[in-house]
Amino acid sequence: MNELAIFPLSDEHKMIRDAARDFAQKEIAPIAAEFDESGEFPLKTVQKMGELGFMGIEMPEQYGGAGMDTLAYVLALEEICKVDAAHGVVMSVNNSLYCHGILKFGTEEQKQKFITPIASGKSIGAYSLTEPMSGSDAGTMRSRAVCEGNEYVLNGRKSWVTSGPVADFVVVFMMTDPSKKQKGISAFVVEANRPGFIRGKKEPKLGIRASATSELIFENCRIPAENRLGQEGDGFKIAMTVLDAGRIGIASQALGIAEVAYEASRQYATQREAFGQPIGAFQGTGFKIADMKTRIEAARLLTYNAALAKEKSKQSGGRYSLEASMAKLFSSETAMYVAHQAVQIHAGMGYSKELPIERYFRDAKITEIYEGTSEIQRMVISRAELGLK
Ligand code: CAA
């Protein structure tokens, strides 16, 4: 069920949702557990997602994208994540953290050069903001970009980069003027084949194990000045604007995880018997089902609403930070709640690797952490509500 009375879906929305569902069921479902176990990157299925247009859903067709709206992106991502959240995060980063920023802040030449290969699915994109000593407090980064003639020389260490081990292009944030703090940060697009671009160790992770995460190290990495996005000093605002879009992607990912964990639990509650009746007939289970379902539908409303708010902002130019943060906060906490209850309802079978329930549980956790922890989302929401920023 992903149609709500207040969000009637168009034929186009239904078409992309069904195409994503079909692809995920046929191509990803058979390999999801194997790649989760091995931690190997599922390049073939990621490439197929690109061929089907899932890597640049909102990008204009002239840059290799599918030219659809944010709700289409959310619906497709939700379907992919119902089957495998690891494929989902690669899709989310390509669409929002990478392509969206270049579309919004790039020159015409940058859009042609840097969006087209990613949106058309031929290459993989990444976004690199975090550093070992700069996570939630993103403005305190130490990496330096120094302008020398018509080039920048990049030096520093970045961490927790989704798709870092496989990306062909990365949007990177570095200090160009440390004396200005946040206002001294600039954004660049870096091609991964540049000398001095070094991929660090791949992170072993609890969940989304088939997605590849690593450090990126820059050692005198020279890039042309025309690879800078926006003006010098615009980097922090670009990073934050892009994260607003990214957070809608993570809300959709969390919604997908919650839905699949819920559906498995609902079915199990009607089939598994104890003390002479289906376990769903006991209030201890039935009330869990009620709370899971209610929270999922509330998460869906917030997530689809954030998608519509982003769509509106394309015309108005206004921000949708509040809607994106509320969707990300509620949806990720719903995913964690639902996955936790799903393990409990399945009991021993929920803990076993014979079923994917334990994978949903492991995958759900990251949605409360990356692209801004739940604490950061609460900061964004409360500051906006209290007029503190
Ligand atoms: N859009 C546009 N501008 C924004 C903005 C937004 N969403 N948020 C802040 N700004 C602007 C502010 O208006 C302000 O501008 P002025 O100076 O002109 O007034 C400026 O940016 C500084 O804003 P703040 O004073 O609010 O900045 P802050 O230091 O207090 O931090 C924060 C704000 C919300 C906590 C921010 O640091 C933040 O979001 N931190 C979390 C970072 C994060 O999500 N990291 C995850 C990285 S990606 C990842 O997870 C890996 C991956 O690969 C998936």
What sign does the dihedral 113-114-115-118 (CA atoms) show? Answer: positive
Q: Which of 107, 102, 144 is nearest to 226 (CA)?
A: 107
What sign does the dihedral 215-53-188-381 (CA atoms) show? Answer: negative
Q: Does the pLDDT of residue 40 top 80, yes or no?
A: yes
Give the whole-angstrom CA distance, residue 211 versus residue 80: 13
Task: Give the burial class of 70: count Cβ atoms within 10 A of its Cβ; 0-12 exposed, 13-18 middle, 19 or more buried.
Answer: buried
pLDDT tens digits, one per residue of 328-349? 999 999 999 999 999 999 999 9
Residue 198 and residue 145 in contact, taking contact as beta carbons nearer than 8 Å: no
Q: Which residues lie across from 172 on neighbouring strands? A: 128, 188
Confidence of residue 185 (pLDDT cuts 50, 70, 90): very high
Q: Does the pLDDT of residue 5 top 80, yes or no?
A: no
Q: Does the pLDDT of residue 3 top 70, yes or no?
A: no
Share of the chain above pLDDT 70, in %: 99
Token pair recorded at residue 235: 């980097």
From residue 308, give the alpha-carbon distance in Å to each of 95, 302, 313, 347. 16, 10, 9, 39
Q: Which of 383, 242, 233, 209 is nearest to 310 (CA)?
A: 242
CA of 161 to the centre of ligand 1 (A): 17
State the residue for tokens 């199990």. 268
Q: pTM for the whole thing?
A: 0.97
pLDDT given for residue 4 in this prediction:
72
Share of the chain above pLDDT 90, in %: 97
Mutate to test the pocket of ligand 1, among 158, 240, 383, 388 (most ligand atoms within 8 A of CB): 240
CA of 321 to the centre of ligand 1 (A): 10
Q: Could you confirm whether 371 is annotated as catalytic?
A: yes
Confidence of residue 8 (pLDDT cuts 50, 70, 90): confident
DSSP string across 333-365: HHHHHHHHHHHHHHTHHHHSTTSTHHHHHHHHH
Q: Does the pLDDT of residue 7 top 80, yes or no?
A: no
pLDDT given for residue 158 in this prediction:
98
**Residue in 78, 323, 333, 371 annotated catalytic:** 371
pLDDT given for residue 6 in this prediction:
76
pLDDT given for residue 358 in this prediction:
98
Q: Does the pLDDT of residue 1 top 60, yes or no?
A: no
- What is the CB < 6 Å shell around ligand 1? 93, 127, 129-130, 136, 138-139, 160-162, 182, 236-237, 240-241, 243-244, 319, 321, 370-372, 376, 379-380, 389
pLDDT tens digits, one per residue of 47-89? 999 999 999 999 999 999 999 999 999 999 999 999 999 999 9
Strands (E), the chain: 125-128, 144-148, 151-162, 169-175, 185-191, 197-202, 213-224, 228-229, 273-274, 277-278
- Higher-confidence position of 158 and 6: 158
CA of 380 to the centre of ligand 1 (A): 9
Mean pLDDT for the chain overall: 97
Please give the domain boundaries of the chain with CATH numbers for all domains: 11-123 (1.10.540.10), 126-233 (2.40.110.10), 236-386 (1.20.140.10)
